[in-house]
Chains A and B, each alone.
Chain A
């Protein structure tokens, strides 16, 4: 008697949709839950599939079985209309608290199922994980390869690999630098060129001196004092010539914060003597040497290239140089004082 009663209570009321993931496994899910997914819904309505195990709806490849379960949970929760916004929000927040790999798979799967709200939810979560991180950190989180070259890794807007003109210009500069070095080497020894010129031909040594050394170097430097004195005379003279500005109102009565900066119109005495040395308590500093920079010369990469490519690049550089040279003579005139 009881058995019969039980038999009547069988849940024949609910209908199910059958879904098949790419790996072949099949599962059934309540119809209203499945229909929450636009892709599944469309399949059901258009092709009539999904009504039985043999006619299961094939889901896109990106929907892995493990992920499908979570997605269906999501649908099951949200397709219930009675829930408040707050409830939904709390559910969502918990939902995305999963491993990164799972989050990526969820985003991917949701996208292939065109489940917009879930795509947004997972995408936002992923974006939050990316915000404020460095490229290395992001690479770690998502297990991505570090396959950009050193050149390409210059701050993005400075990426030069795309621009052939910049590359050629760099090669041209590199060649000019080499030419210059050759020329300097041929110069007669004992050339009376000022100190700074001879530095052009040799690498600037890495500066390992301490802060105190720098300070004493600066303070003991006769040249700079002279320069400072002559500069002061010039500056004070110029100061008197500058027009005075009345309270920042130009003819339109516009008050720029800028025009209020009064320093430009005051005569001041610059101290010629540096203040007495204070003993520095900071540890020896290591100023960055310039030689490190020189290693990034394009010239070095150039030498390792395939000879055919080298020849082609040589031709391009010559061509570019020819074009550039037509502009250079004028530039030279500007820089060379007329004799």
Chain B
């Protein structure tokens, strides 16, 4: 006998389930729960914009208030996805403008957003509050002006790393005088100078402003004006942190910082000069997040700075920090959870800084809560990786980028299979892994055997044969996203594990050995997958069937084939079969 609930009670129970996973599970329990759940779903996350159509989403979830969506594959960040690939958000905005008049939030990542879209958003949704555009492109500052001017209750405008055509800084002045609702503003990716007085007034009249990320064009000497108007800030991204040193600027800056007692996150700091760093020292003890990836300061100053931040949980920094700076970090920041070290000169032939595997080992020893790592370096050894694995079994994200492809263990000259093997054996909760260095099929066997919670795997210049890919596809039970470039993986593993692909969000393979014939076969056999061949050399038909395709993107979908593809992408399905009849 079923435990019965009235609908309202069930809805109320569901309202305490925050994760999409739980809501999805609930909707699969039985017919009545499915129905109830779909009417009360308010937040929707679509990991791949081509996996479903706006119509299907709207039909199933009629009362959505917040939507989040991702478009291009992750490797677009490395310029591997050609211009014009797709991920146009306009059809979605258009459909939602009619179906969801009460939409409040739109968060997009790697999508093409036009000024038309932004204008439509600003005019269609009366309660619109949150717009986050992460690594998006296709719009100009005119589009931003529409948003500023028309969204009366705008709380968040975040342009994280988007590519915006910067026509002028005038857009900011479009925020009307009665706009006081801003909580978060991130314009750090923009180039043009905005009207400083408009910015000042905006900051001054928004009492709930918690996050303010300025762009580089905001001069250092003006920063105190803003800080004094917003002492309640929790996250600050400065503009340029450089200026001819003057004592008065320094003291204004120091004083302004000292008033910001709630500050927990600091970023920006373009071109930071050491002389001005001490002005920030008053906020350092409270900092949990520090992004120094634009600060070209050297190791001694960096060491000094991080030593002032004992509560740091997240640090993004250039490799100027060197092993010595990482040692200081390991000593001072016992709460550190996430570390990202970016290369200052990735294309230089010789190392320009003294950053080695030792830095990472030291941090792994000294920071017991370290769980998320992105580390660019020039040398690595199996011994170091084994040590890191032993020290940090709580690792969740481990992305290692040894700059030279296929670089072996620099001590033994062996492949790094053992090292990465140790990582996956020890870190049982590992969800994301990026491999680099010299790697054979053996590392994939380790991964397939041990990385049972792994959701995302990035592989480049690794492996010997299809066996490697086979290990991953057949062993990694939780795998959702797999991206591969320049590996000798071919048809067999892919075809043998075709069913696995329907349990994943997507698979990207470029410069591998998958033949056109295999792609066609896969596309024909798997109607619920879109098998898309990207080839800028021209139609794959013009080459032999056994010829490998340039790039391959496979994803599960209920939307059928794309209808907005450029002329260098082909979907493999029944159409291709008809060629041979």
Chain A residues at the B interface, C-beta cutoff of 8 Å: 62, 100-101, 104-105, 107-108, 111-112, 119-120, 123-124, 126-128, 130-135, 138-139, 142-148, 152-160, 162-163, 165-166, 169-170, 173, 176-177, 180, 183-184, 193-194, 196-197, 199-200, 204, 207, 211, 214-215, 217-219, 223-224, 226-228, 230-231, 235, 244-248, 251-258, 260-266, 268, 270-271, 274-275, 278, 280, 282, 285, 287-288, 290, 292-294, 328, 331-332, 334-337
Q: How far is the CB of A331 from chain B (nearest CB, A)?
A: 6
Chain A residue nearest to B41 (CB atoms) is A156
Is the CB of B199 closer than 8 A to any CB of chain A?
no
Q: With A142-B29, A196-B518, A287-B497 given, name 5 new contacts (CB 8 A).
A: A127-B17, A257-B340, A257-B342, A331-B575, A336-B541
A218 and B13 form a contact (CB under 8 A)? no
B347 and A265 form a contact (CB under 8 A)? yes
Report Cα–Cα, A214/B491, bound state, in Å: 11
A218 and B467 form a contact (CB under 8 A)? yes
- Given A130-B26, A218-B490 in contact, is the A211-B3 Cβ separation under 8 Å? no
Complex interface: chain B residues within 8 A of A261 (CB): 77-78, 346, 401
A148 and B17 form a contact (CB under 8 A)? no
Complex A-B, nearest 6 residue pairs according to Cβ-Cβ distance, in ascending order: A258-B77, A127-B16, A287-B496, A196-B517, A135-B28, A252-B191
Q: How far is the CB of B435 from chain A (nearest CB, A)?
A: 12
B2 and A157 form a contact (CB under 8 A)? no
Q: Which of A104, A200, A262 contacts B5 (CB 8 A)?
A: A104
Q: Mark B267-308, 1 if CB is under 8 A from A, else 0.
A: 000100000000000000000000001100000000000000
Report Cα–Cα, A183/B580, bound state, in Å: 10
Secondary structure class of chain A's binding surface, majority of residues: helix
Report Cα–Cα, A187/B156, bound state, in Å: 63
B28 and A153 form a contact (CB under 8 A)? yes
B28 and A156 form a contact (CB under 8 A)? yes
B347 and A227 form a contact (CB under 8 A)? no
- Given A130-B13, A214-B470, A336-B579 in contact, is the A157-B6 Cβ separation under 8 Å? no
Chain B residue nearest to A102 (CB atoms) is B3
- Given A204-B525, A228-B488, A253-B294 in contact, is the A288-B190 Cβ separation under 8 Å? no
Q: Which of B374, B499, B581 contacts A180 (CB 8 A)?
A: B581
Report Cα–Cα, A14/B558, bound state, in Å: 66
Report Cα–Cα, A331/B576, bound state, in Å: 10
Is the CB of B244 closer than 8 A to any CB of chain A?
no
Q: Which of A62, A128, A162, A194 contacts B56 (CB 8 A)?
A: A162
B574 and A104 form a contact (CB under 8 A)? no
B25 and A133 form a contact (CB under 8 A)? yes
Q: Mark B381-408, 1 if CB is under 8 A from A, else 0.
A: 0000000000000000000010111100
Chain A residue nearest to B498 (CB atoms) is A290
A170 and B16 form a contact (CB under 8 A)? no
Tell me which of B9, B570, B574 has the highest count of chain A C-beta atoms within 10 A of its own C-beta.
B9
Complex interface: chain B residues within 8 A of A255 (CB): 293-294, 342
Chain A residue nearest to B37 (CB atoms) is A156
B440 and A275 form a contact (CB under 8 A)? yes
In residues 404-443 of chain B, which contact A (Cβ within 8 Å)? Answer: 404-406, 440-442
A143 and B2 form a contact (CB under 8 A)? yes
Complex interface: chain A residues within 8 A of B520 (CB): 196
Report Cα–Cα, A106/B97, bound state, in Å: 41
Complex interface: chain A residues within 8 A of B9 (CB): 107-108, 111, 119, 123
Q: How far is the CB of B97 from chain A (nearest CB, A)?
A: 21
Complex interface: chain B residues within 8 A of A336 (CB): 541, 579
Report Cα–Cα, A139/B2, bound state, in Å: 9
Complex interface: chain B residues within 8 A of A101 (CB): 3
- Given A263-B78, A285-B474 in contact, is the A292-B13 Cβ separation under 8 Å? no
Is the CB of B356 closer than 8 A to any CB of chain A?
no
B30 and A166 form a contact (CB under 8 A)? no
19 pairs of residues in contact across A and B, judged by CB atoms under 8 Å? A111-B6, A123-B16, A139-B29, A157-B60, A159-B60, A163-B558, A166-B56, A180-B574, A196-B521, A197-B580, A200-B524, A218-B465, A253-B216, A260-B376, A264-B78, A265-B347, A285-B470, A293-B498, A293-B525
A138 and B25 form a contact (CB under 8 A)? yes
Q: Which of B270, B343, B467, B515 contacts A227 (CB 8 A)?
A: B515
Chain B residue nearest to A207 (CB atoms) is B496
